[in-house]
Structure 1
Amino acid sequence: MTSSTTSVTTAAGRPLPHAEGAKHSWLEVRGIRLHVAEYGSGAPVLLLHGFPQHWFAWHRVAVQVAADRRLICPDLRGFGWSEQSPRGYDIDGLADDMLALLDVLGLDRVRLVGHDWGAHVGFRLCLRAPERFSGYLALNMAHPWARHRAILPNLWRQWYTAFIEYPVIGRAVLRRWPAFTRFLLRHQVADRALWQADELAEFSAAAQAGAHAGQAMFWQYVVREIPALLRGMGREQRLTVPTVLLGGERDNVIPPSMLAGGGRHADDLTVRIVPGAGHFLPRERPHVVAEAMKELFTTGR
């Protein structure tokens, strides 16, 4: 573990955005340095961000739940202030990073929250190592058993991935066209006026700095996850971790129709749709996320 601080600047000259109560550290995990922001103290909760964000995506939720929780908000490999590597951006690799991070932190069992890509990693974690997680809150992501008849009519919603996933092209788009990232952020919320200018600037700059990681993660999904989905792999897996899945009524990436049908593969899976919300629930409805965390993670559930 390296130094902990609340005010640092990366080698690229990008300062960490300020978030009240956040403490920062860098940990050696599977051969790379992962940046971790933490809030509060108490029962540990691991929170995994989505694309094109990083740890700062959770700061509006943190102010509502950090009083009695230890919130652990890592930057996934290559994102935010975590070190980039040539490879390791597939879902299993990112899940391996998080299991190793828990080992480094000395945590045997935690609560889990994931948004977008972080929620995809979260499902993989719960299926691979259910003994490490006492409850899971998934946000704006389909469960692993989404029905083909729900997926196929919604494939068009993934149009933007064609600009990101291909090697060379995807990195160039993310690195040289920050307006594309800003467009995605605005396009994927229900109220486009919601984002503040500094938030858009921060996350678009982060996408530029982490262009390799962003492109590689999308590409690994294409070459690994889509073929596995088409082959029906994972249909026999069962989710044993108590899970709540929150979706946005106006999510134009993962619409409510893609969230149905998981109950027969899970011991305890609840799906809820948040009225009037889009794809960024931690930003659009932080109070709803906070209340869902408190309810799901109540001792004894």
Structure 2
Amino acid sequence: MASHTERPLPHDERAEHRRLDVRGTRLHLAEYAGTGTPLLMLHGFPQHWYAWHKVAGQLAGGYRLLCPDLRGFGWSEGTPRGYDMDSLADDALALLDALGLERVGLVGHDWGAHLGFRLCLRAPERFTGYLALNMSHPWPRHRAVLPNLWRLWFTAFVEYPVLGRAVLRHWPGFTRFLLRHQVADPAAAWTEAEIAEYVRATSGSAAAAQSLFWQYVLHDIPALVRGTRRRERLTVPTLLLGGARDSVVVPSMLAGAEPYADELRVRLVPGAGHYLPQERPAEVADAVRERFAACAQQN
């Protein structure tokens, strides 16, 4: 087993942990037991399952929260390949199969939200609804994206195979900078212990993180330019929650999905940045209740 999977887990007495063999690797799953609708919670970069601990505290057992570490992140084993969105989607669907869950609610943040959109387009029958956090939808308007490409400057230090792995593994100040500067109020969003945890985790998952960004360059950017996703339609009821002060995915990048979705609503959280689960866990929990209230009544 890779050494990063042997690190001590952040303490959260409410979470139960297990590992499941899925598609040639072993994925770590943290589960917050609850009596309500099961929700698959997909983390972003540079985090892992612990990204959801504040939201879990707000929901207080009202939902069964399934918080996996993506392949190669946190305490999930890494592999040489498998970090493109379709492969990660295969992982998520296989994980649901291993858990015996036919249909769940879906919540994603950052890269996890990008993956969530892919899942909803590929297997809409598996999801009762979708809450996406801090991520543009698959049909962003070019006139909104192009003027804001400079905001993704940091990806140039991550995506290239040699440079990216070296930066993430040996330059902890880089990860620390991203965490602190992509929120509206660092002192309110993070404890020093949380920042230290994600810095350590990023060093251990450097190969997976670099591969994730590089696969986006190879596959997703060309698809965006070609308008590949414009031939697809989102049928899963979706709420897209953004931060009004998000410096990575700015509010203008959240508009324009109406022609491609049956039901997609966009809402901004005033005064919040790119890490809503840390900055505004109560608002995220409220959005969970709103999005999945009908599902809970049906169940």
TM-score w.r.t. structure 1 length? 0.95
Shift of 1:65: 1.4
Shift of 1:68: 2.0
Residue in structure 1 matched with residue 195 of structure 2 by the alignment:
200
State how far apart, in whole Å, the 2-side matches of 1:68 and 1:280 are.
23
Q: Is the 8 A contact 2:6 2:75 kept in 1?
A: no
Residue in structure 2 matched with residue 5 of structure 1 by the alignment:
none
How many residue pairs match? The answer is 293
Q: What SS does structure 1 have at the residue aligned with 2:27?
A: strand
Shift of 1:144: 0.2
Q: What SS does structure 1 have at the residue aligned with 2:132?
A: strand
State how far apart, in whole Å, the 1-side matches of 2:116 and 2:5 are.
30
Residue in structure 1 matched with residue 144 of structure 2 by the alignment:
150
Counterpart selection for 1:238 from 233, 240, 264:
233
Q: CA RMSD in A?
A: 1.3
Q: What SS does structure 1 have at the residue aligned with 2:231?
A: coil
Residue in structure 2 matched with residue 54 of structure 1 by the alignment:
48
Any idea what the Cα deviations from partners look like across 1:95-130, whole Å, max 9, x if unmatched? 110000000000000000000000000000000000
Q: Is 1:215 paired with 2:219?
A: no
1:140-179 correspondence to structure 2 within 5 Å: 140-179=134-173
Higher relative contact order (CA 8 A, sep 6+): 2
Once the two structures are aligned, what percentage of the paired residues are identical? 68
State how far apart, in whole Å, the 1-side matches of 2:38 and 2:3 are.
27
Residue in structure 2 matched with residue 37 of structure 1 by the alignment:
30
Q: Is 1:116 paired with 2:107?
A: no
Residue in structure 1 matched with residue 99 of structure 2 by the alignment:
105
Shift of 1:193: 1.6
TM-score w.r.t. structure 2 length? 0.96
Q: What amino acid sits opposite 2:194 in the alignment?
A: E
Shift of 1:10: 6.2
Change in CA separation of 1:10 and 1:294 when aligned onto 2, cut-off 3 Å: farther
Moved over 4 A (4+): 9-13
Residue in structure 2 matched with residue 94 of structure 1 by the alignment:
88
Residue in structure 1 matched with residue 10 of structure 2 by the alignment:
17
Q: What SS does structure 2 have at the residue aligned with 1:146?
A: coil
Residue in structure 1 matched with residue 278 of structure 2 by the alignment:
283
Change in CA separation of 1:182 and 1:108 when aligned onto 2, cut-off 3 Å: same
Shift of 1:11: 6.4
Q: Is the 8 A contact 1:114 1:120 kept in 2?
A: yes
Q: Is 1:260 paired with 2:255?
A: yes
Unmatched tracts of structure 1, length 5 or more: 1-8
Q: Is the 8 A contact 1:10 1:81 kept in 2?
A: no
State how far apart, in whole Å, the 1-side matches of 2:228 and 2:273 are.
29
Q: Is 1:64 paired with 2:58?
A: yes
State how far apart, in whole Å, the 1-side matches of 2:5 and 2:116 are.
30
State how far apart, in whole Å, the 2-side matches of 1:249 and 1:132 are.
31
State how far apart, in whole Å, the 1-side matches of 2:4 and 2:232 are.
43
Q: Is the 8 A contact 1:39 1:66 kept in 2?
A: no
State how far apart, in whole Å, the 1-side matches of 2:124 and 2:247 are.
30
The structure carrying a bigger helix percent of its residues is 2
Q: What SS does structure 2 have at the residue aligned with 1:73?
A: strand
Q: Is the 8 A contact 1:143 1:262 kept in 2?
A: yes
